[in-house]
Structure 1
Amino acid sequence: MIAVAVVTVLASLALPSYNEYVMRSHRANARAALLQAAQWMERTATAQGRYPLAAAIPASVLLVEGGRYAVVAESANGMTYTLTALPNAPQAMDLCGSYRINEAGTRLQVKTDQVPNPLGALECWNR
């Protein structure tokens, strides 16, 4: 009985740390996917003279490892673009909300329905 109580206490202490570690690793996946997509956009603009329109971006460029984020691209005029990593259900309560980067390299955190006041870009992009 005492062993069960000890295991329960240890599990209750370890589980939140483990969950935070998992969320942090998926945040890193989202940041990496955004940066890779931004590099792809820049290489394409160098080759073609303008950024590709959102409809012309291959789905493979917008994939995020782990599937907890979905990357959405906005590029309507070929002169600018915005890439946003939106958290999916298991990651929706993450305090960083959505990640966003644009053609100028500006990194932002964007609110979501579940996280109306996300942490700042400095905290989330550097963790």
Structure 2
Amino acid sequence: MFKISNLRRLRRPTFTELTISAAAIAVAAAIVLPFYDDHVKRSHRASARAALLHAAQWMERTATARGRYPAAAAIPDNVMFVKGGRYTMVVTSTDGLTYTLTALPHAEQADDLCGSFRINQAGLRLQVATAEVPNTLSTVECWVGHTAIKR
């Protein structure tokens, strides 16, 4: 048990000790936050790739059932949904013989080094430059998913 006499012996930290502690926390945050940001961006990239592949499978199943790829307006919203909200998916499908699905980054993902993801009816996967990222990383680096991307 604490006695009142013991409480008098407790000392408060000095200004110098508080400053050193704050500086140590700031340095640790400066080191950790970029790694965390990259981890979050990789996670959203994976969501965009998964959504593109899901939509491409839906397009193929629909073409198998109907004999043609559906027009963009006929694709349900849930097929075009990308989890996390950092990508918006758009489709180009006008003639019923081809389609192109693109996941466009926005918000915090806009400056991601992979730019936009794209896949077409032939399964060709590409990276597309954006206004924020004129030179994207390679398709292999961005589509593999587990590849570490260094800045």
TM range (shorter): over 0.9
For 1:43, give the aligned amino acid: R
| Distance (whole Å) between structure 1 residues aligned to residue 76 and residue 108 of structure 2 | 25
Instruction: Determine if the alignment matches structure 1 residue 22 to structure 2 residue 63.
Output: no
Residue aligning to 1:13: 31
Q: CA deviation at 1:2?
A: 1.5
Larger radius of gyration: 2
For 2:26, give the aligned amino acid: T
Residue aligning to 1:121: 139
Instruction: Determine if the alignment matches structure 1 residue 67 to structure 2 residue 85.
Output: yes
The number of residue pairs the alignment matches comes to 127
For 1:60, give the aligned amino acid: N
| Distance (whole Å) between structure 1 residues aligned to residue 76 and residue 42 of structure 2 | 27
Instruction: Determine if the alignment matches structure 1 residue 42 to structure 2 residue 60.
Output: yes
Mind listing any 5+ residue stretches in structure 1 that lack a counterpart?
none
Moved over 4 A (4+): none
Q: CA deviation at 1:59?
A: 1.1
SS at match of 2:119: strand
**RMSD of Structure 2 on Structure 1 (CA):** 0.6
Residue aligning to 1:102: 120
Instruction: Determine if the alignment matches structure 1 residue 79 to structure 2 residue 91.
Output: no
Q: CA deviation at 1:102?
A: 0.1
| Distance (whole Å) between structure 2 residues aligned to residue 16 and residue 6 of structure 1 | 17
Residue aligning to 2:16: none
SS at match of 1:8: helix
Mind listing any 5+ residue stretches in structure 2 that lack a counterpart?
1-18, 146-151
Q: CA deviation at 1:4?
A: 1.1
Q: CA deviation at 1:26?
A: 0.2
| Distance (whole Å) between structure 2 residues aligned to residue 96 and residue 116 of structure 1 | 10
TM-score, with normalisation over the residues of structure 1? 0.98
Instruction: Determine if the alignment matches structure 1 residue 111 to structure 2 residue 129.
Output: yes
